[in-house]
Amino acid sequence: MKNLFTGKLTRLVAQDIDAMGAVIAKWSRDSEFYQLFDSDPTRPRNAKRAQEQMRDYAEKNQPGNFSFAVMRLEDDRIIGEGGLFDALSPHRNAWLAIGIGERELWGKGYGTDAVQILLRFGFQELNLHRINLGVFGYNARAIRAYEKIGFVHEGAWRDALKREGKRWDSIGMGILKSEWEAKQNE
């Protein structure tokens, strides 16, 4: 039986709050990463504050949220974070989020691999029916990756974001379990 949390390039692991605080602080100094990952205003964070925010979030213990650190198999280095959220809805839906914070690894398949693991976890372990995500219209690389995996465009929140003086859509995409299963047999 295949390890549920291991892909070809990455592994999903439990988030160690101390380790994640340090890497989140490092990634927050890369404004392009945060503009791709979050719609909140970009700002540098410090490790201690990031750790406090993670502890506060963990203490809320929302049972339908599954957060992971993305670790590179090659050297066991934390390179990103991701998860499935609101996954215990009665409708068997969840929201996916992913971010690879190590810029030198962008475009090399690590994010796609981590998304594949999250989909496998969601569809096989959590028995979800569909997984949704939101992606910013200016993130063409992510949109192409999601399409390749099998996500379908389902709509957009027009002009929802303003970055560098320009308005951008926030695009809604989704994949059904049956669509994901069909892709596994290709």
The pLDDT of residue 157? 97
The pLDDT of residue 22? 87
- CB 78 within 8 Å of CB 70: yes
The pLDDT of residue 55? 78
pTM > 0.85: yes or no: yes
- Determine which helix (DSSP H) or strand (DSSP E) holds 100, and give its type and residue range: strand 93-100
**Distance between CA 16 and CA 21 in Å, rounded?**
8
**Assigned superfamily of 10-184:** Gcn5-related N-acetyltransferase (GNAT) (3.40.630.30)
The pLDDT of residue 61? 64
- Core vs surface per residue 64-94: b (16+ CB within 10 A) or e: ebbbbbbbbeeeeebbbbbbbeebeeeebbb
Residue 108: partners with Cβ closer than 8 Å, 6 or more residues away: 9
The pLDDT of residue 33? 83
- CB 176 within 8 Å of CB 130: yes
* Structural domain spans, the chain: 10-184
C-alpha distances in Å from residue 74, one per residue of 9, 78, 111? 7, 11, 15
- Core vs surface per residue 171-181: b (16+ CB within 10 A) or e: bbbbbebeebe
The pLDDT of residue 86? 92
**Distance between CA 116 and CA 122 in Å, rounded?**
10
Average pLDDT per run of 10 along the chain, which is 186 residues long?
A: 89 89 85 82 78 75 87 96 92 96 95 97 97 96 96 97 94 98 89
